[in-house]
Structure 1
Amino acid sequence: MSSPKITFIGAGAIGLPMAVRAAAAGTVTAVDTSAERLAEASAQGLHTAHSFAPDSPPDVVMVMVATAQQAAAVLNGPEGIYAKAGRDAVVVVLSTIGPEAMQKLAAERPSGGPALLDVPVTGGIPGAVAGTLTLFASGDQDAIERIRPVLETMGKVVFSGPNLGDGQSYKIVNQLLATSQLVVAAEALAFAERLGLDTSSVFEAVRDGAGGSWMLDKYGPRMLNGTTDIAARVDIFLKDAALVDETAQRVSFDGQMIATTVSVLERAVAHGLAPLDASSVIDVYRQA
């Protein structure tokens, strides 16, 4: 696919830097309901639109919205992507919505409609900006290969299976690890504080040992030093953790770790931390 026309739906905190990265592979039009977001996209050199109403059908449509309900809304209906994109397009769901919701979107795709791929991502805003995300790509492998140059502008593509929903399942496993390790890192550093230790020294001592983790390494300094910039919001971590919990219950898996993680993140939201960086979850323990 040479210099494809790409429509990127959702120019939010993670979607916009992904769209900017995708522009290295083709011409990108960012679609969002926020005038502020569209102004930012325009300043980054992207074409912009308030709705999905292309003058000519795009080759690739990327969907990075917050929820399964939003994804269904932009895909379905007479003005939706399925109706407007054209049968030769490839539609990519980048959002984390869970395997069950992804399978429902696949079932709603009209016969003869555009190809649909399931490609949730991990790496947060820093990964989106740097182009170092991991993309869990599932669905028709030929369609994945057709748009691989577009996907690879955003990071590493990992083929996760032939079935729509396989990528979401990979992401759910990833989020069980990520969300619980965030909470464990916060608990451990808050514990060090309560013990009266020099927490910076403790962090340096454990970060590369058996107790280390990616979440501790990346979020530990933010927890200890405070931050006003956002790598990922508390409420997004809660959304993903709740999705893991729901999926575990659906398949009758006794996910005790995720249940505890959801509880801690719910306390963080109750403390008013929802719009703050996920590192602020340490305040749940400081306020206990």
Structure 2
Amino acid sequence: MTTPHTIAVLGLGRMGRAIATRLTAQSRDVVGWTRSRLTSGAFKTIGDPHEAVAGADLVLLALFDGPACQQVLDDVRDSLRPDTMVLNTSTIAPAEATNLARQFGPSYVHAPVLGSVPAATAGTLQILAAADQDALDRARPVLESLGTVRRVDDASTAAALKLIANNSLAGAVLALRDSLRQADSLGVPRTSVLDVLELGQLGGLVARKRPFLDGKPPVGTADFTIGALAKDMALLADASNTPLRSAAGLADTPAAPESDIAMAATVPAVSDAVLDPLRAYIRGHATGEPTHFRDAFLPTAHIEGIRGGAFVSWPLDEYCALFHGQPAPDEPTRSRRIDTVDVHGAIATATMTLQHGADTFTDIFLLIRADGSWRIANKAYHRHS
């Protein structure tokens, strides 16, 4: 087994810099290149990518996405030596990974990593490596300088597993966001909430990201950005062709793409303004007073669903006529819960669960902001008995 001697790291963003610095600290001969022409005192940098790869036994990619990988490799391909290995740590789509593996054949190792800058710096990354056995044997000493290597069947699977792992991270960030929103609504001090959350299943995430969560100005730079994680979730949703709430949740985060992922957990809940028509709707059911429904809905709204086994579609006047200004006799036992509200500019969707005696209703609302206020444009429902 021959260990690669000179390593060219292409892409010197957060992870690229950390990887190049780690390999240099492990006595590897490293040169770095980036399109931004960033320089580093920790390792040698070269302004010409062709010069960077011409003398390299191994070219390591740490780029933002698949198109960047393809563009850079297309540019330097003629400068690669016949025996040069290409080791790609970038997070890209499964189809993109398959395509690159096909283009470069046995010399290509697809090796996305689990972990961010601190893990790269410490050499504790988890590496999902897909390659021919000979190529993996050649690359293994370099990979083991960065962390623990887990062999994966093929490049597509390695890319897919990385996206799935990042989805679990996105889910954890959004779960933390929901916990902080509930705590804010209850008036619980942020410090107390974070202290307790550090004791639970999200404890590791909370402890690592606490400088971004306590309401003070963020300290330092991001280890993993919202923009990068949102990109990964978009790739996963596109590859799986399956709805993915984390993709929408991150894409709609009103924080700068270069912000740390923890900032997605600090986004406040939707404003009371968008909740006002939903609360008016709840009051209508609680009191039986139809004026609350007129406050909640646009005059043009329709309420649609299945009633008595048949499809019904009521205009607002007909729907209001079902209520007679008195609460139901069993009102004290009834409950309503707003489950989700997703705002997209001047429109929003919401879901609600209503427990009315033996019946459970699932209501889905389309809301719109018109003339400065939110109203329900339409409602559809399903009745479970």
| Fold match (TM-score > 0.5) | yes
Whole-Å Cα distance in 1 between the matches of residues 132 and 142 of structure 2?
Answer: 16
Whole-Å Cα distance in 2 between the matches of residues 25 and 102 of structure 1?
Answer: 30
Question: Residue 153 of structure 1: SS of its match in structure 2?
Answer: helix
Structure 2 segments unaligned to the other structure (5+ residues): 272-385
- Who is 1:266 aligned against? 251
Query: Identical aligned pairs, as a percentage?
Result: 22
- Who is 1:218 aligned against? 208
Residues 62 and 93, structure 1, Cα contact 8 Å, conserved in 2: yes
Q: Which has the higher strand share?
A: 2
Q: Using the TM superposition, give the Cα deviation of residue 287 of structure 1 relative to its aligned residue in structure 2, in angstroms.
A: 6.1
From the superposition, tell whether residues 55 and 184 of structure 1 become closer, same or farther in structure 2 (CA, over 3 Å).
Answer: closer
Q: Using the TM superposition, give the Cα deviation of residue 27 of structure 1 relative to its aligned residue in structure 2, in angstroms.
A: 0.7
From the superposition, tell whether residues 28 and 125 of structure 1 become closer, same or farther in structure 2 (CA, over 3 Å).
Answer: same
Q: Using the TM superposition, give the Cα deviation of residue 228 of structure 1 relative to its aligned residue in structure 2, in angstroms.
A: 3.3
Residues 175 and 244, structure 1, Cα contact 8 Å, conserved in 2: no
- Who is 1:72 aligned against? 70
Question: Residue 13 of structure 2: SS of its match in structure 1?
Answer: coil
Per-residue CA deviations over 1:61-97 (Å, capped at 9, x if unaligned) read 0011111111111222xx423x322221211111000
Whole-Å Cα distance in 2 between the matches of residues 181 and 239 of structure 1?
Answer: 17
1:44 to 42, 45, 62: 42
Q: Using the TM superposition, give the Cα deviation of residue 17 of structure 1 relative to its aligned residue in structure 2, in angstroms.
A: 1.2
> Normalised by the size of structure 2, how large is the TM-score?
0.64
Question: Residue 106 of structure 1: SS of its match in structure 2?
Answer: helix
Whole-Å Cα distance in 1 between the matches of residues 43 and 70 of structure 2?
Answer: 28
Whole-Å Cα distance in 1 between the matches of residues 22 and 129 of structure 2?
Answer: 17
Question: Residue 53 of structure 1: SS of its match in structure 2?
Answer: helix
- Who is 1:195 aligned against? 186
Whole-Å Cα distance in 1 between the matches of residues 53 and 69 of structure 2?
Answer: 22
Question: Residue 49 of structure 2: SS of its match in structure 1?
Answer: coil
> Normalised by the size of structure 1, how large is the TM-score?
0.84
Whole-Å Cα distance in 1 between the matches of residues 183 and 230 of structure 2?
Answer: 24
The aligned amino acid for 1:280 is M
Per-residue CA deviations over 1:112-162 (Å, capped at 9, x if unaligned) read x6600110112112222222221111111221121212112222222122x
2:33 to 24, 31, 34: 31
Residues 3 and 27, structure 1, Cα contact 8 Å, conserved in 2: no
Residues 255 and 263, structure 2, Cα contact 8 Å, conserved in 1: no
Query: Quick check: 219-228 or 236-245, which moved more?
Result: 219-228
From the superposition, tell whether residues 140 and 267 of structure 1 become closer, same or farther in structure 2 (CA, over 3 Å).
Answer: same
The aligned amino acid for 1:48 is I
Whole-Å Cα distance in 1 between the matches of residues 204 and 125 of structure 2?
Answer: 14
Superposition map of 1:239-258 within 5 A? 239-249=231-241, 254-255=242-243
- Who is 1:137 aligned against? 129
Query: Quick check: 43-52 or 87-96, which moved more?
Result: 43-52
Residues 87 and 114, structure 1, Cα contact 8 Å, conserved in 2: no
Question: Residue 29 of structure 1: SS of its match in structure 2?
Answer: strand
Whole-Å Cα distance in 1 between the matches of residues 185 and 233 of structure 2?
Answer: 27
Superposition map of 1:92-107 within 5 A? 92-107=87-102
Residues 62 and 94, structure 1, Cα contact 8 Å, conserved in 2: yes
Q: Using the TM superposition, give the Cα deviation of residue 180 of structure 1 relative to its aligned residue in structure 2, in angstroms.
A: 1.4
CA RMSD of aligned residues (A): 2.2
Larger radius of gyration: 2
Superposition map of 1:15-30 within 5 A? 15-23=16-24, 24-30=26-32
- Who is 2:119 aligned against? 127
Question: Residue 51 of structure 2: SS of its match in structure 1?
Answer: coil
Per-residue CA deviations over 1:201-237 (Å, capped at 9, x if unaligned) read 233324333x436434423553124423212111111
Count how many residue pairs are aligned between Structure 1 and Structure 2: 267
Q: Using the TM superposition, give the Cα deviation of residue 59 of structure 1 relative to its aligned residue in structure 2, in angstroms.
A: 0.9
Residues 172 and 202, structure 2, Cα contact 8 Å, conserved in 1: no
Residues 88 and 114, structure 1, Cα contact 8 Å, conserved in 2: no
Q: Does 1:233 align with 2:231?
A: no
Q: Using the TM superposition, give the Cα deviation of residue 172 of structure 1 relative to its aligned residue in structure 2, in angstroms.
A: 1.5
Residues 13 and 125, structure 1, Cα contact 8 Å, conserved in 2: yes
Q: Using the TM superposition, give the Cα deviation of residue 240 of structure 1 relative to its aligned residue in structure 2, in angstroms.
A: 1.0
